[in-house]
Amino acid sequence: MVEKNLCTGCTACVAVCKTKALKMIVDTEGFKYPVIDKSLCVNCNLCEKVCPAKKRISRDKFAEVYCGYTKDKNNLLSSSSGGIATHFAEHCLSMGGVVCGCAMDDNMYGAKHIFITKSDDLDRIKGSKYLQSSLDDVFLRIKEYLKNEIKVLFFGTPCQVAGLNEYLTTENITKKNLILVDFICHGVPSPLVWEKYLKEEEQLNASKAENVFFRNKSSGWKNYSLLINFSDGSSFCQPVTENLYLRGFVSNYYLRPSCYHCNFKKENYYSDLTLGDFWNVEKYAPDCDNKSGVSLIFTNSTKGSRFLSLLNNEVTYKKIDFDSAIKSNPSYSYSVKENYIRKHFFSKLKRKSVLKLLNRYCSDRFLSKVIRKAVVILGGN
């Protein structure tokens, strides 16, 4: 099995194991990893063969890239970026297919992949959830849909898409009815940190969270906010510059270890389409800058190009220069760096309040103290 710090938790090995010798088990940081029951293992080696954690694919050519956004104002304001994902999903449903994407659990403490068959339910998977989602038996169910010739659109992180792709290849399942869509990925935070954080916010607000939006646009697309609506009718909305959970996420305190050495960057996207935020739109395509959310859309395959062309009526988009697009979003090409605080953070997490920890780590006083210490260690003065 691949080294723990490279395992993305994609579940391909668990899905491929015919003897059920592998199970996904949560570790102390809150991430799921495959664990083997040796008494059930028949040494077939399929789990090693399927694992995408170190594989490279070679594409014929680099992706083409477009910038774009939905023409539907409501969709734009309720999506994380340019609202393109929802139109992809609608097209798949209109062809009689099913859509698999990430939704919050009913209690809001976790995220998981679910299947959608009606457009009325698409809101459940709309928007970025800033925690790792559980896949459970999703790959097995997708295999069954494809065997029955039903179209499937799968949205996920690049590592989940790679895992699904490798699983279906190993199982000899034709992918002609499958569309794979991923996104430029900063990394996924620990579900345990999110659960602790939300429970503490619920305690402070003396009310249960009813729904959560990680990319609310009320203070802008770029200065997005975490919005929590509580069951007593109150709500909590804080922009990324102030919210402790979002600050910890963008500061890389509690991402999955594999996110610091991600194998799914540059030419190693397994998807047909990759979506992302066009953060520097005002510099590279000012005529597209709607201020409410503009996406980058990479077409990585002919199937992806054809699928994008179906959106002509719903989406405004135009081709842009590849280098400008990736310059505006370094996570397309590179993994983020592990924060030096990470180990300390997780060592304290079990016993301490996550809000207190984040308050301490995110405070300027703490950071300057650590930086002063680092300067001394490195021999500065």
Q: Give CA–CA dist 331/309, Å, rounded.
A: 26
Tokens representing residue 357 in the block: 């920890």
133 binds ligand FAD (CB under 6 A): yes
User: From residue 234 to residue 273, what is the string marking binding to ligand FAD with x (rule CB under 6 A)?
Assistant: ----------------------------------------
Residue 158 touches ligand SF4, criterion: CB under 6 A: yes
Look at residue 191 and give the partner it binds from ligand FAD, ligand SF4, none, a contact being a CB closer than 5 to 8 Å depending on partner kind. Answer: none
183 binds, among ligand FAD, ligand SF4, none (CB under 5 to 8 A by kind): ligand FAD
Burial of 123 (0-12, 13-18, 19+ CB in 10 A): middle
Q: Decide: 342 and 253 in contact? Cβ < 8 Å.
A: yes
Identify the CA nearest to 193 among candidates 380, 378, 355, 371.
355
Strands 315-319 and 64-70: antiparallel
String marking each residue 115-154 x if it binds ligand SF4 according to CB under 6 A: ----------------------------------------
Q: Please name the residues in contact with 193: beta carbons below 8 A apart, sequence gap of 6 or more.
A: 30, 131, 245, 248, 254, 349, 354
Q: How many CB atoms within 10 Å of residue 230?
A: 17
| Cα separation, 309 vs 322, whole angstroms | 19
The closest alpha carbon to 199, from 28, 353, 359, 361, belongs to 353
Stretch touching ligand FAD by CB under 6 A, among 29-37, 119-127, 199-207, 229-237: 119-127
**Type of residue found at 314:** E
Contact code string over 60-79 relative to ligand FAD, x by CB under 6 A = -------------------x
DSSP string, 104-115: E-TTSS-EEEEE
C-beta of residue 273 within 8 angstroms of C-beta of residue 299: yes
* Side-chain half-sphere CA neighbours of 240 within 13 A: 14
Answer yes or no whether residue 9 interacts with ligand SF4 by CB under 6 A.
Answer: yes
Smaller CB separation from ligand SF4, 42 or 95: 42
Q: Letter for the amino acid at 30?
A: G
CA–CA distances in Å: residue 74 to residues 94, 136, 144, 298: 20, 32, 35, 24
Contact segment (CB under 6 A) with ligand SF4 among 49-57, 122-130, 172-180, 365-373 equals 49-57
The identity of residue 254, as a single letter, is Y
| Minimum separation from the CB atom of position 155 to ligand SF4 (A) | 13
Taking CB under 6 A as the criterion, the residue among 11, 238, 331, 335 binding ligand FAD is 331
When binding is defined by CB under 6 A, the residue of 16, 135, 184, 212 that contacts ligand FAD is 184
Number of residues that bind ligand SF4 (CB under 6 A): 38
> Does 41 engage in binding with ligand SF4 (CB under 6 A)?
yes
* Partner that binds at residue 172, options ligand FAD, ligand SF4, none, CB closer than 5 to 8 Å by kind: none
Work out which of 3, 25, 28, 42 binds ligand SF4, going by CB under 6 A. 42
Nearest CB to ligand FAD, comparing residues 9 and 34: 9
Window 244-273: residues binding ligand SF4 (CB under 6 A): 256, 258-259, 262, 264
Which parts of this chain interact with ligand SF4 (CB under 6 A)?
1-2, 7-13, 16-17, 19, 21-22, 34, 36, 41-47, 50-51, 53, 157-159, 163, 185, 187-188, 256, 258-259, 262, 264
Which parts of this chain interact with ligand FAD (CB under 6 A)?
79-86, 101-102, 111, 125-130, 133, 155-157, 183-186, 188, 275-277, 295, 329, 331
